[in-house]
Amino acid sequence: MAALLDRGLVFLLSILLINVEQVDYLIVCLLLVAIISICINVYFDNELAVKISSVVFIVLGICVPKFACFAPLMIYECGRKKVKIMIPFHGFVGIAWSLIFYTDKIQLIQGGKITIFMIIAYVLGVRSAISDRKDRMIHKLQDDRSYLRQNSKQKQDELLRRQDFEIHAATLAERNRIAREIHDHVGHMISRAILQLGAVMTINKEDKLKEPLSSLKDSLDTAMNNIRESVHDIKDEALDLEYMIKDVLKTYEGLDIQLDYDMNKYASKELKYCFVAVIKEALTNTVKHSDATKVQIVVREHPALYQLLIEDNGSLVSSDKNDKTGIGLDNMRERVSAFNGNMLISREQGFKIFISIPKEN
């Protein structure tokens, strides 16, 4: 905006240099050419546009003396874009115009005006260049600060997600430990108590103790069943599919693996084990038989089905991948068929395995 105002000021100064009593078609043409030149420099705003405009102005100033009054306008552009080589030519044309076109009485005054206006234009151009440089530096600093802020926020979010994942993983490990402790200690103690009670009931000869012992055995059996169900529930809940998949991916460090996971935690443990086994089998085949460097794994839940997509960028495939009866692929099909699911294979632009399993299973 400041540069546009400076151009307008220099343009008005140039018009003052024309000093004509009446406006003719030549003056109108000169004004139109000057305005077009301003528009071109505003639009392109580069050094090449200034050089081309300077050459045109110098030629027109030589051919049409009145056009030399717009020398300050081009000197402003040269000062703004640091095209110093053109400034002496514009100055020469402008001063020469005053000596040729005007009468002897006003030559000195007109030459002085042109000189002063060109100096003013050059100072404005240099000032505009400095202002533009400062604006660019400010914008760069603002962009850098915005980038650093955004990058810092992304890293912070990533750290929070990783922290949440680690906490969740530690929670699952602790649940597994508790379930194992209950099963190994409390469960075994109650099992031993049931066996001992059975032995006591076998050798018991007292009729009045049969009913209390039987009631006690029923209570112990009920407690044992409750413990088994609780342990199974804890283990099922501790089977986090995302954690299981990421744990598998750690063993394939040579591949660039991207995981897109969007699935709730309420899927059955059988389905979770199925997905993990298929992913492990597919990655093993990729490492052994393919030249792939990247693998994308998508685990997604839809209202009516679960989907699993495994895709690599390999161009070489093994006989096991090409052979529809390969052992690895047969194992995958069997696992998917157990859930009444479908498995599709594509060999275009890499190797893809697409699995869909209905939720009703």
Three-class DSSP labels, 224-268: HHHHHHHHHHHHHHHCCHHHHHHHHHCCCCCCEEEEEEECCCCCC
Hey, what are 274's tokens?
């199925």
Residue 20 has pLDDT above 60, yes or no: no
pLDDT band at 299 (very low <50, low <70, confident <90, very high): very high
All structural domains of the chain with their residue ranges: 2-136, 160-238, 241-358
Residue 106 has pLDDT above 60, yes or no: no
Enumerate helices (H) and strands (E) in the chain, giving the number of each: 12, 5
Which of the following CATH numbers is that of domain 241-358: 3.40.50.300, 3.90.1150.10, 3.30.565.10, 3.40.50.410? 3.30.565.10
**Contact of 317 with 323, CB cutoff 8 Å:** no
pLDDT band at 50 (very low <50, low <70, confident <90, very high): confident
- Backbone φ and ψ for 99, nearest 5 degrees, come out as -80, -25
pLDDT band at 287 (very low <50, low <70, confident <90, very high): confident
Q: Report the pLDDT averaged over residues 15-29.
A: 67
**235 vs 270, more confident:** 270
Q: What is the DSSP letter of 184?
A: I
pLDDT band at 309 (very low <50, low <70, confident <90, very high): very high
**Contact of 110 with 66, CB cutoff 8 Å:** no
What value, to the nearest 5°, has the Cα angle with vertex 232 and ends 229 and 234?
Answer: 110
Residue 298 has pLDDT above 90, yes or no: yes
Residue 30 has pLDDT above 80, yes or no: no
Q: Report the pLDDT averaged over residues 108-130.
A: 76
Q: Report the pLDDT averaged over residues 47-51.
A: 79
Burial of 130 (0-12, 13-18, 19+ CB in 10 A): exposed
pLDDT of the residue at 326: 63
**18 vs 271, more confident:** 271
Question: What is the separation, in whole angstroms, between the first and last Cα of the chain?
Answer: 68
pLDDT of the residue at 117: 80
Q: What is the DSSP letter of 300?
A: E
pLDDT band at 95 (very low <50, low <70, confident <90, very high): low
Percent of the chain's residues with pLDDT above 90: 6
pLDDT band at 323 (very low <50, low <70, confident <90, very high): very low
Tell me which residue has tokens 């962009």: 143
pLDDT of the residue at 90: 60
Q: What is the DSSP letter of 46?
A: S
**297 vs 184, more confident:** 297
pLDDT band at 178 (very low <50, low <70, confident <90, very high): confident
What single letter denotes the amino acid at residue 103? T
**Contact of 98 with 107, CB cutoff 8 Å:** yes
Going by C-beta distance under 8 Å and a sequence separation of 6 or more, which residues neighbour residue 323? Answer: 329
Average pLDDT, the chain: 78
pLDDT band at 153 (very low <50, low <70, confident <90, very high): confident
